[in-house]
Structure formats: C-alpha cells, structure tokens
Amino acid sequence: MSPLWRRTPTPAVDVGAGERVLASATATDGTVLAGTRDAFYLVRDGETRRVPWEQVEAAGWDRDTDSFRLSEVGTWGEQRPVHIVTLAEPGRLLELVHERVTASIVLQRHVEVGRRRGLRVIARRAPAGAGSVHWVYEYDEGVDPADPAVRSAAREALDLARRDVGMP
C-alpha cells in the first residue's frame, strides 16, 4: 500500500551555524536550492553559495518553462550575480523565498526624477532584525546615476527615508 502523500527528502546542504533548512528543491541539473530563516543557499558542482535574504534583489519562477531565477543585489554599472535553474518541482521553496525577501524590506520608495522615471530608495535588513539597515538605490531604465540632478534627488530621498524610519 502506497501512502497518499509523498514526502520529498531534503537534500543535504551545509548551512551556517544555528541555521536549518526550511525548504529546498533540486534542479534538473542537480543544483540544490535551499532556504533557511537567514539565507538562500545554492549548491552547484560541490560549491555552496550563501546569499543573505537582504542581498536578494529579485526572484521568480516561470511556470511555463519551469525556470527559477534569483538575482543578487549589486553595484550600479557592474554585472549582478544571477542564478537560473530549471525546477520541475519547486515545492515550498517559492513560498519561502517570497516570504523571506519581503521580510527583509524595511522601506521602499519611488522618487520621480523627470518624466515617469526615477529611482527607488530601498532599506533592507536581515529578516531576523539582526544587523544594520542597508540602503540602496535602484534606478529606472534611462536614469543616469551620474547626473547631478539625479544625485541630488537621490540624496534628498535618502535623507527623508532615513528620517521616516527614525535613522537620521
């Protein structure tokens, strides 16, 4: 008699001290993806990459192609690390990624700099509340971060956002 439900075994992932895997999935190429309360883990070809949730810029799964994509926060003008794998069975991993990334956002505010373009001021911190708040800008396409008007608007927006969250 077979069980009505099957439990997928959790792949072995070496995680940080005090962390435990809450959800995981194995990609079709054997890459293991796992999430803990504090970070996202990617194990490919024996190499483990740990990405704290507050360093995840975006993540998503395309149901039509079974593609999971996770991009890391980066520096303007530099290539951001992006991880793409095919996941036939994402299980609870997608829920965990969404919940943990959302929990890392303290504040997100869009500021216009010109016609319908601008930048976002984003404050992120570890979802557990430990550590400092990291402030980043995300520029809309076509906005030049070197433009003096953009730099001024970004500074003003950051100052206002810091005051709004009680961090002068």
Residues 37 and 89 in one domain: yes
On whether both 27 and 92 belong to a single domain, the answer is yes
* 122, 148: one domain: yes
Q: Does residue 83 sit in the same domain as residue 119?
A: no
- Among candidate residues 59, 77, 96, the one where a domain is terminated: 96
How many distinct structural domains can be found in the chain?
2
Edge-first strand order for the sheet with 32-35 is 23-26, 32-35, 39-44, 47-52
Last residue of a domain, one of 69, 96, 123: 96
Last residue within a domain, chosen from 96, 128, 153: 96
- Tell whether 39 is covered by a domain: yes
Q: What is the pLDDT of residue 85?
A: 96
Residues 77 and 30 in one domain: yes
pLDDT one-digit tens code per residue, 93-151: 999 999 999 999 999 999 998 788 999 999 999 887 777 888 988 899 999 999 999 99
Are 120 and 66 in the same domain? Answer: no
Residues 109 and 56 in one domain: no
What is the residue range of 37's domain? 23-96
Structure tokens at 109: 């505010």
Stretch 20-38: mean pLDDT: 95
57-74, pLDDT tens digit by residue? 999 999 999 999 999 987
Backbone CA torsion sign across 99, 101, 107, 109: negative
The reply to whether 11 falls in a domain is no
CA atoms within 13 A on the CB side of 135: 15
Q: Does 16 fall in a domain? A: no
| Any domain includes 63 | yes
pTM of the model: 0.81
| Average pLDDT across the chain, whole number | 88
Q: Establish if 32 belongs to a structural domain.
A: yes
Q: What is the DSSP letter of 6?
A: -
- Residue 153's pLDDT band, with cuts at 50, 70 and 90, is very high
> What local confidence, expressed as pLDDT, does residue 166 receive?
83
Whole-angstrom Cα distance, residue 25 to residue 8? 9
The verdict on residue 37 lying in a domain is yes
